[in-house]
């Protein structure tokens, strides 16, 4: 299945310009692929391996190895920041290690900069389908969805916890925020 996921990513972004792999205790191997920069200077980082098993509700007494949501993560950064590779692998391992089910509107917090000098410590998972089409799997497995990640400053993450993901995304849109800018400042939060 991971070969099909990688083929979907290559069909969308072209051949990877780099890759790294990380293994965490208690989790399967996670790869992070680097695509680009493209003609606009955008570099896309994608996880590969997070979708190998479905995410499971940690309160469920039985873990279904076939049914359940499967995702991979996609982060787009203008100019690229390869220091984000380990952060993405950490995010991708979180469902296995902590029993988290990540869905659009959810967030992941690293508690440290996403890369050295980054003003962001967490990410918001956006709706899939815009960058990479879902990858259908044989029934009864759910499709693999590719969730774009939107970097958040600590203040934005706190504001999102109070007001919700939709309100933060609307704030970004209203202010014309370039979420791919690795050096952007946090949006004004009134």
pLDDT of residue 70: 94
Determine what percent of the chain is predicted with pLDDT higher than 90.
77
Residue 176 scores a pLDDT above 90: yes
For residue range 143-164, what is the model confidence (pLDDT) as tens digits?
999 999 999 999 999 999 999 9
In this prediction, residues 139-144 reach a mean pLDDT of 92
Q: Please, which residues have CB within 8 angstroms of residue 10's CB and are 6 or more apart in sequence?
A: 16
Contact (CB, 8 A) for 9 and 48: yes
Place of tokens 């996670």: 30
Give the pair of three-digit tokens for residue 73.
């993560």
Reported confidence tier of residue 36, pLDDT bands at 50, 70, 90 = very high
Q: Please, which residues have CB within 8 angstroms of residue 4's CB and are 6 or more apart in sequence?
A: 135
Reported confidence tier of residue 50, pLDDT bands at 50, 70, 90 = very high
Contact (CB, 8 A) for 105 and 99: no
Give the pair of three-digit tokens for residue 5.
């996921």
Q: Where are the domains of the chain?
A: 2-174
């Amino acid at each position: 299945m991971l070969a099909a996921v990688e083929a979907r990513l290559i069909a969308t972004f072209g051949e990877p310009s780099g890759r790294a792999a990380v293994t965490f205790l208690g989790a399967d191997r996670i790869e992070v692929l680097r695509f680009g920069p493209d003609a606009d200077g955008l570099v896309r980082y994608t996880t590969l391996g997070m979708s190998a098993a479905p995410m499971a509700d940690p309160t469920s007494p039985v873990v279904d190895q076939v049914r359940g949501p499967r995702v991979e993560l996609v982060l787009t950064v203008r100019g690229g920041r390869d220091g984000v590779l380990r952060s993405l692998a950490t995010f991708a391992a979180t469902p296995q290690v902590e029993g988290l089910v990540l869905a659009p509107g959810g967030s992941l917090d690293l508690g440290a900069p996403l890369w050295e000098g980054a003003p962001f410590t967490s990410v918001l998972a956006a709706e899939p389908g815009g960058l990479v089409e879902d990858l259908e799997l044989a029934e009864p497995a759910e499709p693999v969805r590719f969730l774009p990640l939107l970097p958040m400053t600590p203040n934005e993450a706190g504001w999102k916890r109070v007001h919700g993901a939709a309100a933060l995304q609307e704030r970004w849109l209203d202010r014309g925020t370039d979420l791919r800018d690795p050096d952007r400042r946090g949006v004004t939060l009134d």
